[in-house]
Structure 1
């Protein structure tokens, strides 16, 4: 639940471009990444909680803040970040995107392997 709530908060911060504390925003991004890393580990280990979180994220079409565009100038003004910090934000978001893609790959591969096993037994 924390992961989903945090993702929505990040998305809202990016969408509505109100003045925010840039350091808090970056910390939230890193926390989200840590949570998503746990989801990845749980999905790889095929735990019920990992599968449940994956399905919840899938219903949301992935991490919600990944759908938002990062505009350097707006980020520097609205979050009071330097251009270097904005590049760091972009890097964190890219890392999140890659991790989400890895999670999907693991789940999809498992699904394909299961189907191949079923076909083999038919």
Structure 2
């Protein structure tokens, strides 16, 4: 079979188009939150306290995972434990902290769904 440069260029263009489309679609799953959020943390004694986040707050729409930076520039994430379903805020050098909910403006995230009485 003889090498055909036109066919090679066409295959390369299609591959680039597919790669670009994949990257674009994955970026659409990320929501940048442009307002201050309150993260409600459950303390060891069972009380709930909150702290504010406003630096580089992003939420993955597909997984619900939040990422943000604190005032020191450290990257934090709020992930769900697959075994318990609970959400934890953690950074690389901190122990995970149980998150009750996150409130960003009028939106509330991570609150457990209330069971319907029937």
Question: TM bucket by the smaller chain?
Answer: under 0.3
Greater share of strand: 2
Greater share of helix: 1
* Structure with more relative contact order (C-alpha pairs < 8 Å, separation 6 or more): 1
Instruction: Report the TM-score, using the length of structure 1 for normalisation.
Output: 0.24
Rg: which structure is higher? Answer: 2
Instruction: Report the TM-score, using the length of structure 2 for normalisation.
Output: 0.25
